[in-house]
């Protein structure tokens, strides 16, 4: 008998492994952040005491939620497990005003039948970074005349939250605090002389299907120059494969990452059910993750 059960801490390795196998490249600690953003936001399909698939249906607030991490083990597909997970996720979100998701191209028709509409194309970009100054004690952060780039400890979290609320689709203070303060990775912030935030970026280790790498995101900035400054600070300290998911409405993100040496590796389609936001991502250069928006 197939059962849908809420995520528990003992499921962490299964969900992380499944996401890694599917090429989702989960960041170290990502699944824990999803679960803690909405403690009943991840669900697993169980049969014969074995987990076979999962889905995240995370509610930020009554106005906005996001569906992701939707995957069934390869050898159990075509048995209705995905449909059960999908129906359960929609049922848990039936009172939310707007739901977002990132759709694999082959799944767009399926989501359209459920009432989702296409918004834009999200592109995953990748490069191999050969520079690594992280062990050099003389390495200093790059700045510009009107902006200092600082680490998270040198600016108030409230300043970043105020900035994020102005530029994201929905306020997310709890999620943002978990995301930025997680011990994996580093955060760089563009700060003015008054201590206000004008952009930030996080880079964290991630799990590739084979080996490890880095993921950049969230990456927000008020203009392309500031975005480039933040990215340079993040990239100069991490060596290896680096991934960024860039939203389709921000054309500067494509220009910046291409100039840096990133190559497109694949794409998904951002879709919404409910009132579709307009222009919310013009200052978003890199998404936190495809699984949580």
Task: Give the tens place of pLDDT for each residue, 17-46.
Answer: 999 999 999 999 888 887 777 667 899 999
| Mean pLDDT, all residues of the chain | 90
Task: Report pLDDT for 133.
Answer: 54
pLDDT in tens, 53-104: 999 998 888 888 999 999 999 999 999 999 999 999 999 999 999 999 999 9
141: three-class secondary structure by DSSP: coil
Please give the pLDDT value at position 34.
79
Lowest mean pLDDT among 32-41, 131-140, 225-234: 131-140
Task: Quickly tell me which residue has 């803690």 as its tokens.
Answer: 36
Collect all residues with Cβ–Cβ distance below 8 Å to 74 and sequence separation of at least 6: none
pLDDT at 135: 47
Q: Looking at residue 99, what is its pLDDT?
A: 95
Topology of domain 3-121, CATH:
Aminopeptidase (3.40.630)
Give burial (CB, 10 Å; 0-12/13-18/19+) of 78: exposed
Chain segment 174-207, per-residue pLDDT in tens: 778 888 899 998 999 999 999 999 999 999 999 9
3-state helix, strand, coil in the chain (%, to 5): 30, 35, 35
Beta strand segments in the chain, E: 3-6, 42-47, 50-61, 64-72, 98-104, 117-129, 148-151, 186-191, 197-207, 212-221, 240-246, 263-273, 284-286
Tokens matching residue 228: 């480039």
The residue ranges of DSSP E strands in 161-196, in sequence order, are 186-191
What are the CA-CA distances from residue 93 to residues 69, 89, 234 (Å)? 15, 6, 36
Whether omega before 218 lies within 30 degrees of 0, making that bond cis, reads yes
pTM above 0.85, yes or no: yes
- Considering only CA atoms, which of 81, 20, 23 is closest in space to residue 50? 81
- Between 134 and 203, whose confidence is greater? 203
Q: What is the location of CATH 3.40.630.30 in the chain?
A: 3-121, 124-267
Angle (CA) 254 187 100, round 5° = 55
For helices 173-181 and 30-37, angle between their N-to-C axes, nearest 10 degrees: 160
Indicate the pLDDT class of residue 137, thresholds 50, 70 and 90. Answer: very low
What number of other Cβ atoms are within 10 A of residue 274's Cβ? 17
Contacts with 217 (C-beta within 8 Å, 6 or more apart), sequence order:
201, 202, 244, 245, 286, 287, 288, 289
Residues 6 or more apart whose CB falls under 8 angstroms from that of 109 comprise: none
- CA nearest to 143, candidates 192, 187, 185: 192
Give CATH superfamily name and number for 124-267: Gcn5-related N-acetyltransferase (GNAT) (3.40.630.30)
């Amino acid at each position: 008998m197939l059962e849908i059960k809420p995520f528990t801490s003992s499921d962490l390795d299964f969900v992380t492994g499944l996401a890694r196998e599917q090429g989702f490249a989960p960041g170290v600690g990502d699944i824990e952040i999803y679960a803690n953003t909405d403690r009943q936001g991840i669900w697993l399909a169980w049969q014969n005491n074995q987990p076979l698939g999962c889905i995240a249906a995370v509610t930020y607030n009554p106005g906005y939620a996001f569906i992701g991490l939707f995957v069934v083990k390869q050898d159990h597909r075509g048995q209705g497990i995905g449909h059960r997970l999908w129906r359960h996720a929609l049922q848990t979100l039936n009172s939310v005003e707007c739901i977002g998701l990132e759709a694999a191209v082959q799944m767009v028709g399926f989501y359209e039948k459920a009432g989702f509409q296409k918004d834009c194309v999200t592109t995953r970009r990748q490069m191999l970074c050969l520079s690594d100054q992280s062990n050099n004690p003389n390495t200093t952060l790059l700045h510009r005349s009107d902006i200092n780039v600082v680490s998270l400890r040198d600016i108030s979290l409230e300043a970043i939250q105020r900035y994020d609320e102005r530029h994201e689709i929905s306020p997310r203070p709890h999620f943002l605090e978990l995301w930025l303060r997680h011990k994996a990775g580093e955060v760089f912030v563009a700060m003015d002389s008054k201590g206000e935030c004008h952009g930030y970026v996080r880079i964290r280790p991630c799990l590739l299907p084979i080996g490890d790498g880095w993921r950049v995101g969230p990456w927000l900035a008020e203009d392309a120059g500031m975005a480039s400054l933040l990215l340079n600070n993040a990239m100069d300290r991490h060596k290896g494969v680096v991934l960024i998911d860039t939203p389709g409405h921000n054309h500067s993100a494509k220009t910046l990452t291409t100039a840096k040496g990133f190559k497109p590796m694949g794409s998904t389609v951002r879709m919404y059910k409910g009132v579709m936001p307009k222009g919310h991502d013009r200052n978003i250069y890199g998404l936190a993750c495809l699984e949580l928006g």
